[in-house]
Amino acid sequence: MNIIQNNKLIGFAAYSGTGKTTLIKEVVSILKKLDYKISVIKHAHHDFDVDKPGKDSYEIRKSGADNMLISSANRWALMHDNNGSNELSLRDLIKKLEFSTESDVILVEGFKAEKFPKIELYRKKISKDRELLSISDNSIVAIATDDTSNVNSNLPVLDINKPHDIAAFLLKYLKISKKSVT
């Protein structure tokens, strides 16, 4: 078993449509109000582009630049084209993120098949005909659900509709000391 060890990393795993992005946005907002520095790694299954055709950075990248870093007073972004190389593993992405930024917490959306601590999200309406991911994935550390009747597990069970409780759980799980709101 190849578990990624990082004392500030926890993911959210679920079937499509369960609300991973919505919950992550809420958790990020909660943690940010507590003055934590948060980074998020999201896996995309399809070709995607954060830049728009017609913008200088897009046109430069499309002209052949392997890397295009754009920066302003408000933010910076690095676009890198793999150009036939393999997709980076979660471990490689964490290294790149840690090299470029200091984070108190790294949240991960996706990478369901990788072995690292994850909270499983289960909604009865979405996942009703599917078994819990935690049955076959022992890197899941808790289950957040709207229906406990299908959960037969020794794992902590959280209310998926209470993002404050989920944020508190992940801070406790990661052993990150609480900060006071400034």
Query: For residue 33, what is the enclosing H or E element?
Result: helix 20-33
Does any domain span residue 45?
yes
Tens-of-pLDDT digits for all 182 residues of the chain?
A: 456 767 899 999 998 889 999 999 999 999 999 999 999 988 876 666 777 888 888 888 887 777 787 878 888 877 777 777 788 888 888 887 777 678 899 999 988 888 999 999 999 888 777 888 998 999 999 999 998 887 888 999 999 999 999 999 999 999 998 665 44
Within 67-136, strands assigned E span 67-71, 76-80, 105-109, 118-122
Tell me how far apart the alpha carbons of residues 125 and 62 are, in angstroms, rounded to a whole number.
42
Instruction: Give backbone dihedrals phi and psi of 137, rounded to 5 degrees, phi first.
Output: -125, 100
CA atoms within 13 A on the CB side of 181: 5
- Domain count for the chain: 1
Q: What range does the domain containing 153 cover?
A: 9-49+87-173
Does any domain span residue 63?
no
Does any domain span residue 123?
yes
CATH classification at residue 22: 3.40.50.300
Does any domain span residue 72?
no
Inter-axis angle of helices 163-173 and 20-33, to 10 degrees?
A: 70
Q: What residues pair up with 90 in beta bridges, in sequence order?
A: none
